Amino acid sequence: MTAVDALDLAIERHLEALRTARRLSPNTLDAYRRDLADYGGFARRHRLSEWRQASQVFLDAYFAWLARRGLAGATVSRRRSALRGFHAFLVRNGERSDDPLADQPAQRRERRLPHALSVHEVELLLAQPRPDSPLGLRDRAMLELAYASGLRVSELCGLERPRIDLAGRLLRVAGKGDKEREVPFGRTAERALRDYLEHGRPALVGDPGRGRRGSARLRHDAVFVNAQGGALSRMGFWKILRGHARSAGIATRVHPHGLRHSFATH
């Protein structure tokens, strides 16, 4: 086994420990895996002879290489944080006697707040979906609910029908660490969601007698679905949001988290 093969195996052990001990979400684990794989690729290209002996000088060379690539400061800081956790794991498990990053202070970076839309911009955005089609009903319900509840995009896309109490206007949401919480929403979002669930979603997933895909009905509880009837992805939501923001003539770049920040601001 080469040194880099051993590094890859150590990274997988570290990720498994994060998954079981800290109960990180799959998306967070994927981000850690990508960051550590980038470091593994650097070690492979530079023929690191024994990864347990990777020195502070070697790690400084890696961070300098990241900077020369023109990566954003936030990306470099995230990879530094991932490597700090990885080397601390190696020391705790007796696979290294020292931590080359232990004495280096964590990089501080300015945290940029997401752009919050004005009330007028939100009104323009919410007016874009056309309620005369299943996709329009979906988009209106999705945007109204996102604004009314402040859900994260992953929570919105992962929402399932049994977790919605329309009469009580409550959502049961599994957030970070699988912790469930109740999230209230208003009457406008409730009406939009009810219209979508009664007239839009059945046409998309193919409920018999109601939609155009009755012969190939998709059986799942995802509330928000794509044009093919499958569960909507986060990227799908981002594209929908961007399209409606463009139609509304909103000049600033609208991000999913910006809608959540608008909920907290208004």
Residues 142 and 244 in one domain: yes
State the DSSP code for 230. S
Residue 180 included in any domain = yes
- The pLDDT of residue 199 is above 90: yes
* Segment 88-133, tens digit of pLDDT: 888 888 888 788 787 665 555 445 545 667 778 888 899 999 999 9
Confidence (pLDDT) at 135: 98
CATH number of the domain residue 224 falls in: 1.10.443.10
Q: By residue range, what is the domain housing residue 84? A: 3-92
Is 67 in the same domain as 143? no
In a domain, 220, yes or no: yes
Residues 192 and 130 placed together within one structural domain of the fold: yes
Q: What is the pLDDT of residue 106?
A: 55
At residue 213 the predicted structure's pLDDT band, cuts being 50, 70 and 90, is very low
Answer whether residue 111 is part of any domain.
no
Name the average pLDDT for the chain.
82
For residues 78 and 151, state if they share a domain. Answer: no
Residue 163 has pLDDT above 90, yes or no: yes
In a domain, 250, yes or no: yes
Q: Tell whether 135 and 259 lie within a shared domain.
A: yes
Are residues 212 and 157 both part of a single domain? yes
**Residues 139 and 259 placed together within one structural domain of the fold:** yes
Of 135, 122, 110, residue with least CA distance to 239: 135
Specify the number of domains making up the chain: 2
For residues 223 and 160, is the Cβ–Cβ distance under 8 A? yes
Do 53 and 158 lie in a common domain? no
b/e string for 134-171 if b means 16 or more Cβ within 10 A?
bbebbbbbbbbbbbbbbbbbbbbbbbeeebbeeeebeb
Least confident interval from 14-28, 92-106, 209-223: 209-223
Residue range 232-248, pLDDT digits in tens: 999 999 999 999 998 88
Q: What is the pLDDT of residue 110?
A: 46
pTM value > 0.85: no
Do 174 and 180 touch, CB atoms closer than 8 A? yes
- pLDDT attached to residue 55: 80
Last residue of a domain, one of 42, 76, 92: 92
CATH number at residue 79: 1.10.150
Q: Give me the pLDDT at residue 212, please.
A: 46
